Amino acid sequence: MPELPEVETIVRDLGARLTGLMVERAEVLLPKVVAAPAPEEFARLIAGRKILGLSRRGKYILIELSRGWVLILHLRMTGQLVYTTVLEPFPKHTHLVLHLDQGVLRFTDLRQFGRASLVPAREVRRVPGLRELGVEPLGAEFVKEDFIRKLARSRRMIKPLLLDQTFLTGLGNIYTDEALHRAGIHPERRAADLDTREAGTLYRAIREVLAEGVAFRGTSVQHYVDGSGQRGRFQEILRVYGKKGVPCPVCGVPIERIRCGGRGTHYCPECQPFER
DNA sequence: AGCAACGCCTGATAGC
DNA sequence: TGCTATCAGGCGTTGC
C-alpha cells in the first residue's frame, strides 16, 4: 500500500516526466473515483491545462496545473498512477485516464478506494483530509523534542497513534511496524509510558525507515508500482511486516502477528517486549 | 473532544 | 472440486 516512501517515489518520477506537458482530455471510466467536481465538470475543467509540477503532502499527490487549479490524488490501498508513452490497452481496473500532449497518465485501482479531485489552488490547504494532516516526518518541522513531548501527553497505544495522520502524516501499516521494531518498542505500549530515551530512539527509527524506504523506491508487497509501473525493493529488507513465524533478523525468535487498534501488526516478542 | 468501530471494495486464501 | 467466509487496510463517517 502506498505510504510516504511510495508516494514520494511516484511524485519524483512523475514530476520529472510530466512537468511541462498538457492535459488534452480526461477519460473518466469509473465516475465515483472523481470525488469533485462532478465528472463532466472535472473533464471540462482539466482539459487544456499544463502540468506545472508535482508535490506530496502526507500520502496525497498534488499535481499543480496552469491557471490556478490542482489535481489531488490519493491512492489509498491499491491505487496506481502510471505514466506511459507506449500505446497499449489500459490494464483492468483503470478508472481515470489523462491524455496528455505526449503519452497518457492512468489511474488504476483494484479496490476502488482511491480518489481524485480538482480544486482551485488557493483552496488546497482547506480541503478536508489534507487540512487536518500533521507533521511531515521527513521534514524539518519534525522536531525530536516536540515528538517526545507529544508522546508524553497521549494515553493511546503507540501504534495507532503513529498511524493517526493528524499526528504524523505518511506512516502506514508497513513502515509503522518496521519503525517500532527498529526502536525495540511493543506496538501496544501506551505512548506516555515510553521514556525519553525510547521516544528519541523511535523518532530516529521513523526517519531512518522512511528515508530507507525512499532510497529503495518503496515497498512492493502486492500492488505498489512507481510512476513508470516498476516495483520497489524495500520488501527485500523488511524485518517484521508480513513475516509471521519467520525468525527475527536480530535475535532469531519467530515474529508474531497480533491485532492492534484493528490492524494486523507484526513484531518481535524478544526485541519488543511489552514489560520492561 | 477524543477515540474506536464501521463501510467501502476485490482478489487471495482458508475451510468445509 | 467448488462453494462460502474471511481477510487485507487508508481514510471518511458515525457513534459512543
Is A46 among the domain residues? yes
Verify that A159 and A259 share a domain, yes or no: yes
Verify that A91 and A165 share a domain, yes or no: no
- Of A17, A56, A57, A59, the catalytic one is A59
pLDDT of residue A276 exceeding 60, the answer is no
What's the domain count of chain A?
2
Convert the pLDDT of each residue in A139-168 to its tens digit.
999 999 999 999 998 989 999 999 999 999
Average pLDDT, chain A: 92
Is A31 among the domain residues? yes
- The answer to whether A74 CB sits below 7 Å from nucleic acid chain C is yes
Q: Which of A107, A101, A133, A142 is nearest to A30 (CA)?
A: A107
Would you say A22 and A51 are in contact if contact means Cβ atoms under 8 Å apart? yes
A59 included as an active-site residue: yes
Verify that A9 and A78 share a domain, yes or no: yes
Among protein residues, the one whose C-alpha sits closest to the C1' atom of B2 is A156
Residue A101: is it exposed, middle or buried by C-beta count within 10 angstroms (0-12/13-18/19+)? exposed
Verify that A95 and A13 share a domain, yes or no: yes
pLDDT of residue A69 exceeding 60, the answer is yes
- The answer to whether A77 CB sits below 7 Å from nucleic acid chain C is yes
Distance of A102 CA from C11 C1′ (whole Å)? 33
Would you say A60 and A136 are in contact if contact means Cβ atoms under 8 Å apart? no
* Chain B bases near protein CB atoms (7 A cut-off): 2-6, 8-11
Distance of A244 CA from B15 C1′ (whole Å)? 20
Domain boundary among A126, A159, A193: A126
CATH code where residue A96 lies: 3.20.190.10
Verify that A204 and A260 share a domain, yes or no: yes
Which structural domain range is residue A220 located in? 144-267
Is A137 among the domain residues? no
Verify that A215 and A165 share a domain, yes or no: yes
Prior bond of A37 cis (ω within 30°): yes
A115 φ/ψ angles, rounded to the nearest 5 degrees? -140, 150
- Judged by C1' against the alpha carbon of A153, the nearest nucleotide is B2
Convert the pLDDT of each residue in A230-271 to its tens digit.
899 999 899 999 898 899 999 999 999 888 888 889 999 999
Q: Which of A118, A117, A116, A107 is nearest to A79 (CA)?
A: A107
Q: Is A186 annotated to bind ligand? A: no
* Average pLDDT of the segment spanning A206-220: 94
- Of A3, A6, A64, A178, the catalytic one is A3
Verify that A83 and A9 share a domain, yes or no: yes
Distance of A31 CA from B13 C1′ (whole Å)? 31
Verify that A120 and A228 share a domain, yes or no: no
Would you say A99 and A93 are in contact if contact means Cβ atoms under 8 Å apart? no
Verify that A150 and A202 share a domain, yes or no: yes
Instruction: Tell me what pLDDT residue A55 has.
Output: 95
CATH code where residue A154 lies: 1.10.8.50
Q: Is A93 annotated to bind ligand? A: yes
Domain boundary among A77, A96, A126: A126
Which residues share a beta bridge with A109? A79
Is A184 among the domain residues? yes
Verify that A162 and A240 share a domain, yes or no: yes
Give A139's contacts (C-beta < 8 A, 6+ positions apart): none
Is A68 among the domain residues? yes
Q: Percent of chain A having pLDDT more than 90?
A: 78
Sequence-ordered strand ranges (E) for chain A: 23-28, 34-36, 51-57, 60-65, 69-74, 79-84, 94-100, 104-109, 115-120, 256-260, 263-267
What is the band of A131 on the pLDDT scale with cuts at 50, 70, 90?
Answer: confident
Is A273 among the domain residues? no
Domain boundary among A62, A91, A126: A126
Is A217 among the domain residues? yes
Verify that A164 and A114 share a domain, yes or no: no
Is A175 among the domain residues? yes
Q: Which residues have CB under 7 A from strand B?
A: A 32, 77, 92-93, 110-113, 154-157, 160, 261-262
A130 residue type, one letter: L
A3 three-class SS: coil
**Distances from the Cα of A27 to the Cα of A35, A41, A82, A91, A109, angstroms:** 15, 12, 15, 14, 15
- The answer to whether A94 CB sits below 7 Å from nucleic acid chain C is no
* Average pLDDT of the segment spanning A46-69: 96
Verify that A195 and A102 share a domain, yes or no: no
Would you say A268 and A255 are in contact if contact means Cβ atoms under 8 Å apart? yes
